[in-house]
Chain A
Amino acid sequence: MEKTGAQILIESLLKENVEVVFGLPGGQALPIFDAIYGSGLNFILVRHEQSAAHMADGYARSTGNTGVCIATSGPGATNLVTGLATAYMDSVPMVAFTGQVSTAVIGQDAFQEADITGITRPITKHNFLVKDVKELAKTIKEAFYIASTGRPGPVLVDIPIDVQRGKCEFIYPEKVEIRSYKPTYSGHAGQIKKASEIINRSERPVLYIGAGVVVSRAEKEVLEISVKAEIPVTNTLLAIGAYPTDAELALGMLGMHGTYCANKAIQAADVIIAVGARFDDRCTGKVCDFAGKAKIIHIDIDPASISKVVDIDIPVVGDAKIILKDMSKQIEKKERKKWLKQINAWKEEHPLSYEKNDNKLHPQYVIEKISELTKGEAVIATEVGQHQMWAAQYYKAKNSKLFLSSGGLGTMGYGYPAGIGAKFGNPDKEVIVIAGDGSFQMNMQEMSVAILNEVDVKVVILNNHYLGNVRQWQEMFYGKRYSHTCLSKRKDCPPLCNTPNRDRCPVYIPDFVKWAESYGALGMRVTEKKEIESALKKMLETKNSVVLDTWVEIEENIFPMVPAGASLDDIITRING
């Protein structure tokens, strides 16, 4: 039987076992939305298309499935851009569909026309403009295949309205065959052998693991090798939870706000084994000084990642899990007493720390309590800023896929919608968004989605009344000139104020408690350290959306810190010291 393009799209999504789709309709997507009506597809109406992409992303990261979103042409499509770029930078499998003006008027600046395939070319893994309804089913199949295989990423499919209306026989292809796209999975045996030999001979090896380990589900293999050959492990922001946080061999996160011991270990290592990590500059610091004494082995499914930033001695292209399995057979059991002693000394010298002996409400304390009360089993989604780094440092995630954060693009406004998306994929898990008061305001309108769909996502705002991360840089590197980072500054404030003080400063807006209540959520505010634990408990007991507005120390800074462009050796463990 013949079907319309719109019907073909919906049926293809059902064939792909898509659990949930996020989006918002518009004129050039009307046939699609008409086909959704009564189709049984679980469609979630968002309040801003950016959030549709972030929800699809949060769903994808927390489940490992491909996330899906739909928007109309023009402004609907351009609103997806930040979400696509975020997913692209962090290799998240996603398929986005957009309506487009009719093929007859493409290029005529028609109403709500935007060249979205042109706009998203550099921020998608691939994209398609479907000009013929006969191509649609095959294109959708390819889109899902490309998005989820190799190094995953977002794929956009742009569908003109006449193609949505056009009719043809619906045959969903069983298999995909793209001659120009063939990811490599198994690693080169010779390279694996070489790498294993180098590891066996090494004295001070370090495993440096990234998102690729999570994507390929290679956590077990990493653990096995590290334990067998006593290799300490450091992780990137996107691999939080991929290695047991409390293990003796766990170094914690490396890089700009990584631990002292992770950064020291990298700099002292004689071999670095990078697995599914891309040597992001937040991890490497000054590239020419990175791991200067080490031979570098790089296991990655993306050949273009090899030697992109740092020269690699032994590349192994392929899937991390398959390669590590092969490698594990060739890696010898080994004790490294001296190396581990050194690592432990670094751990003791400068552990992650903050002032615990006063009565002030430090943001780190809030995260520690969340970690404790949830036993690290909740899904955490973060916004971007200081709170994100404190979450990375102090939340002890029990496994990977529990820590969702925009690492590559650093997108404020990511966390809340990503958390909502994650809850759709994990209805039985607790989902907690750790937000800054600045970031939360970028997409907090999605509370409607949470309330109306009864997905109880908890938001803990570490409210410092500032765009705190930027304020910290202004404090440290711009002589405390707090230019446009105070979120309570009013018209009649002194123009050059850099002395925030809650007793003197104008009242903070919005009142997040009243705001939450206006949606029918539970709103709470905590200003004292001693109230935190009971407020968190109450939040966790509540079967509803909750916003917990914690008024933390205003000028708290994140440490340790490797200043931008400095070497990992130049790690600062606190201000003036």
Chain B
Amino acid sequence: MRHTISVLVENKFGVLARIATLFAARGFNIDSLAVGETEDPAISRMTIMVKGDESVLEQVTKQLNKLVDVIKVNDFSDIDYVERGLALVKINVTKSNRAEIMQMVGIFRTRIIDVSQDSMIIEVTGDEEKIEAFIKMVMPYGIKEVCRTGEVALARGGGRQ
């Protein structure tokens, strides 16, 4: 099962390396990772997506908690949260399919951010499923390049997690 783990860490150099080392040393593969400052510039939030069964995840969270620079670890799997990622997708475009693609852009509520003779770059934001779905839809036109961010996530409601 896929888990979204949100980790609050001290905003210091070397912390990302520490977390990456922890995952690597235990053979856990990180599916995606996003890091950025929080409302408090001394604290960063890392949103990490990992696959694994419950026992793997339990070890991951415990090991993360054990790191001295880690302030808080939250597994979002059991709580209500929102998640967003962003992808830039460069697709092959011809005269004949341009209109069709633009229609798709409309349906998915994505944005065209660059256009050339034979290509188009489209910006997709949304949860992982939406991004995957869009990429699948435009696959037949021929994708030149895809660049994706890691997902970021926050718990719903007024509380801080």
Interface residues of A in 177-220 (CB under 8 A from B): 178-181
* CB neighbours of A302 from chain B (8 A): 66
Interface residues of A in 270-296 (CB under 8 A from B): none
Instruction: Determine which of A180, A306, A308 lies in contact with B70 in the assembled complex, contact meaning CB atoms within 8 Å.
Output: A180
A122-B25 in contact (CB<8A): yes
* CB neighbours of B70 from chain A (8 A): 180
* CB neighbours of A448 from chain B (8 A): none
Q: How far apart sit A122 and B71, CA to CA, in the bound complex (Å)?
A: 19
Q: How far is the CB of A553 from chain B (nearest CB, A)?
A: 41
* CB neighbours of B67 from chain A (8 A): 126, 180
Interface residues of A in 99-137 (CB under 8 A from B): 117-118, 121-122, 125-126, 129
- Is residue B68 within 8 Å, beta carbon to beta carbon, of the partner chain? yes
Q: How far apart sit A397 and B94, CA to CA, in the bound complex (Å)?
A: 83
Q: How large is the interface on A (under 10, 10 to 19, 20 to 34, 35 or more residues)?
A: 10 to 19
Q: How far apart sit A146 and B69, CA to CA, in the bound complex (Å)?
A: 12
A306-B62 in contact (CB<8A): yes
* CB neighbours of B68 from chain A (8 A): 125-126, 146, 178, 180-181
* A-contacting 9-mer, from B10-18, B104-112, B114-122, B125-133: B10-18
Encode B1-41 as 1/0 by CB contact (under 8 A) with A.
00000000110011001100110010000000000000000
Encode B58-77 as 1/0 by CB contact (under 8 A) with A.
11001101111111000000
B18-A121 in contact (CB<8A): yes
A118-B17 in contact (CB<8A): yes
Chain A's closest residue to B71 (CB) is A180
Q: How far apart sit A307 and B62, CA to CA, in the bound complex (Å)?
A: 10
Q: How many residues of B contact A (CB 8 A)?
A: 21
* CB neighbours of B103 from chain A (8 A): none
B63-A304 in contact (CB<8A): yes
Which of B22, B62, B68, B69 has the most chain A CB atoms closer than 10 A to its own CB?
Answer: B68
Q: How far apart sit A301 and B67, CA to CA, in the bound complex (Å)?
A: 14
Decide yes or no: A121 and B17 within 8 Å by CB, A178-B68, A180-B69 being known contacts: yes
Q: How far is the CB of A303 from chain B (nearest CB, A)?
A: 5
Q: How far apart sit A178 and B10, CA to CA, in the bound complex (Å)?
A: 10
* CB neighbours of B63 from chain A (8 A): 304
- Is residue B97 within 8 Å, beta carbon to beta carbon, of the partner chain? no
B71-A303 in contact (CB<8A): no
A117-B14 in contact (CB<8A): yes
* CB neighbours of B65 from chain A (8 A): 303-304
A121-B21 in contact (CB<8A): yes
- Is residue B55 within 8 Å, beta carbon to beta carbon, of the partner chain? yes
Q: How far apart sit A307 and B55, CA to CA, in the bound complex (Å)?
A: 8
Q: Which 10 pairs across A and B sit closest by C-beta, in order of nearness?
A: A304-B62, A126-B68, A180-B71, A304-B66, A181-B68, A121-B21, A122-B25, A303-B62, A304-B63, A122-B21
With A121-B18, A122-B25, A129-B13 given, can you name 9 additional A-B contacts, CB distance below 8 Å? A121-B17, A122-B21, A179-B71, A180-B9, A180-B70, A302-B66, A304-B66, A307-B58, A308-B62
A-side interface residues toward B, CB under 8 Å?
117-118, 121-122, 125-126, 129, 146, 178-181, 302-304, 306-308
B-side interface residues toward A, CB under 8 Å?
9-10, 13-14, 17-18, 21-22, 25, 55, 58-59, 62-63, 65-71
21 contacts between A and B (CB under 8 A): A117-B14, A118-B17, A121-B18, A122-B21, A122-B25, A125-B68, A129-B13, A146-B68, A178-B68, A180-B10, A180-B67, A180-B68, A180-B71, A303-B65, A304-B59, A304-B62, A304-B66, A306-B62, A307-B55, A307-B58, A308-B59
